[in-house]
């Protein structure tokens, strides 16, 4: 790992600063929207726009890179991100915010694609797994660190918009000044959705549902906290707990998934997430209870996403995994767009805790559907080991992670 850090630290440092900037703007808008009097329904459109832009960027940016190169695309998108982060405070109107969120989602998608290409190219075959693991950890730590910075100034002012803008601008320096040359880039043609569904109905349905869960957690958690009347410190701690839970539980659940039926684990984790969300909806716990529930739901969402990718790839040849993963990421993106919109509607109808009702509904649907699929198909031979993959990862990181997992010597046996 020390060797990996020594060779990839500029890239990892840049990603850390990027994630701090991205994590701050997501939480800050939810809090500032309440201060500006923007309704929950309108804020759901604002938050959903990010995922629409991210999905659009995943389709368009690869062609941009092929035409003008990594460096120019990276610098151009970074400049736009830095500018938009400042403009949020200048134009606090939900329509303008939605347009800016769409733009910033597009740009972050392109920045991640570029950075992950560089990281993948900079690592040798024998260290690629460690590099990707470090990358995923840095992503989580960046978002958690962003929540700490939320407490450094008044969200009604300008400083909290300036800080992520500066961090994003600075994040490009270690990457652009790195001696690592820009990598060769090739697009991945996704598998048809009909074929992908035939390969793994659970993978397609589950990834769609988890896209909704992830986008609600990432986009609407701070909106929910503001509507509930939590303080800035409590909201930032709540969001941090979501990602801390995901960071801590990814690896033990990953080990377990390589030694038992992945569907059973998906079903169990989804049921746990459902019960946790349902408990929070009815019990209305205090802040410490909310932090515990946030950690559990976050600890469920991230590993289940990775489990579904690994389960789908259990039915594929190595040569088909990249195409299938690109298709699944598109399905995840469509689910992510709907998440904040439905959550916002439920919150306007049911009150703030429509947030928990939405999470509970999606998680119980996944648990029930997974249980039903277990009766329709025998457990596959799990040739594809678990790979830790963040829901925000682009096809570049997913493909590299799956290749590394598939190259492991240990092959799990099917559950009896």
Q: Report pLDDT for 416.
A: 33
Q: pTM score, two decimals?
A: 0.86
In a domain, 413, yes or no: no
Contact between 206 and 304 under an 8 Å Cβ cutoff? The reply is yes
| Tokens (6 digits) for 31 | 């809090």
Q: Report pLDDT for 415.
A: 33
| b/e burial code for range 365-401 (CB count within 10 A of at least 16 → b) | bbbebbeebbeeeebbebbbbbbbbbbbbbbbbbbbb
As for how many domains the chain has, the answer is 1
Using the structure block, give the residue that is written with the tokens 């119980």: 364
Angle at CA 50, nearest 5°, toward 46 and 53? 125
In a domain, 63, yes or no: yes
Distance from C-alpha of 362 to C-alpha of 384, rounded to nearest angstrom: 26
Query: Hey, is 290 helix, strand or coil?
Result: helix
Contact between 186 and 50 under an 8 Å Cβ cutoff? The reply is no
Distance from C-alpha of 18 to C-alpha of 182, rounded to nearest angstrom: 19
| CATH number assigned to the domain comprising residue 72 | 1.20.1250.20
Q: Single out the residue of 168, 161, 248, 216 nearest to residue 352, CA to CA.
A: 216
| b/e burial code for range 323-338 (CB count within 10 A of at least 16 → b) | bbbbbbbbbbbebbbb
In a domain, 72, yes or no: yes
pLDDT per 10-residue tile (average), the chain, 416 residues = 62 84 90 92 94 87 79 84 90 93 90 73 60 77 91 90 90 71 60 84 92 91 93 94 87 76 90 96 94 93 83 76 76 90 94 95 96 83 60 61 54 34
Distance from C-alpha of 357 to C-alpha of 351, rounded to nearest angstrom: 10
In a domain, 416, yes or no: no
Over 111-150, what HEC string results? HHHHHHHHHHHHCCCCCHHHHHHHHHHHHHHHHHHHHHHC
Q: Single out the residue of 291, 295, 266 nearest to residue 362, CA to CA.
A: 266
Q: What is the DSSP letter of 413?
A: P
Q: Single out the residue of 245, 226, 250 nearest to residue 31, CA to CA.
A: 226
Angle at CA 133, nearest 5°, toward 129 and 134? 120
In a domain, 226, yes or no: yes
Angle at CA 204, nearest 5°, toward 202 and 210? 90
Domain extent at residue 163 = 2-178+187-406
In a domain, 411, yes or no: no
Q: Single out the residue of 212, 223, 227, 297 nearest to residue 44, CA to CA.
A: 223
In a domain, 154, yes or no: yes
Using CA atoms, how far residue 167 sits from 22, 81, 146, in Å, is: 10, 11, 11
In a domain, 245, yes or no: yes
Count of beta carbons in the 10 Å neighbourhood of residue 158: 13
């Amino acid at each position: 790992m020390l060797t990996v850090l020594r060779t990839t630290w500029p890239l990892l440092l840049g990603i850390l600063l990027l994630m701090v900037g991205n994590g701050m703007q997501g939480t800050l808008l939810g809090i500032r929207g309440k201060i500006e009097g923007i309704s929950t329904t309108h804020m759901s459109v604002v938050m959903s726009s990010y995922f629409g832009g991210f999905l659009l960027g995943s389709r368009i940016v690869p062609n941009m890179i092929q035409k003008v190169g990594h460096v120019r695309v990276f610098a151009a998108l970074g400049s736009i991100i830095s500018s938009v982060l400042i403009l949020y405070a200048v134009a606090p109107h939900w329509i303008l915010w939605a347009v800016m969120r769409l733009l910033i989602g597009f740009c972050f998608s392109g920045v991640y694609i570029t950075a992950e290409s560089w990281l993948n190219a900079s690592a040798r075959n024998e260290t690629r797994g460690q590099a990707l693991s470090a990358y995923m950890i840095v992503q989580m730590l960046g978002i958690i660190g962003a929540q700490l910075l939320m407490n450094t100034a008044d969200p009604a002012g300008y400083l909290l918009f300036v800080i992520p803008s500066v961090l994003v601008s600075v994040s490009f320096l270690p990457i652009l000044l790195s001696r690592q040359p820009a990598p060769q880039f090739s697009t991945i043609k996704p598998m048809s959705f009909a074929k992908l569904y035939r390969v793994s109905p659970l993978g397609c349905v589950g990834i769609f549902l988890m896209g909704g869960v992830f986008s609600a957690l990432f986009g609407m958690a701070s909106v929910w906290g503001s509507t509930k009347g939590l303080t800035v410190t409590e909201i930032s701690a709540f969001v941090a707990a979501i990602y801390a839970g995901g960071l801590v539980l990814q690896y033990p659940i990953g080990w377990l998934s390589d030694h038992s039926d992945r569907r059973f684990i998906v079903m169990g984790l989804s049921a746990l997430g459902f019960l946790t969300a349902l408990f929070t909806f009815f019990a209305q716990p205090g802040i410490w209870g909310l932090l515990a529930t946030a950690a559990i739901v976050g600890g469920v969402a991230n590993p289940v996403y990775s489990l579904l990718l690994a389960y789908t790839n259990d039915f594929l040849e190595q040569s088909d995994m990249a195409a299938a993963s690109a298709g699944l990421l598109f399905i995840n993106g469509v689910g992510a767009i709907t998440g904040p919109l439905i959550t916002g509607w439920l919150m306007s109808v049911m009150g703030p805790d429509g947030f928990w009702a939405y999470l509970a509904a999606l998680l119980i649907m996944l648990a029930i559907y997974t249980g039903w699929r277990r009766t329709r198909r025998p457990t596959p031979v799990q040739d594809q080991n678990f790979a830790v993959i963040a829901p925000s990862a682009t096809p570049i990181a997913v493909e590299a992670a799956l290749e590394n997992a598939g190259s492991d010597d240990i092959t799990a046996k099917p559950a009896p």
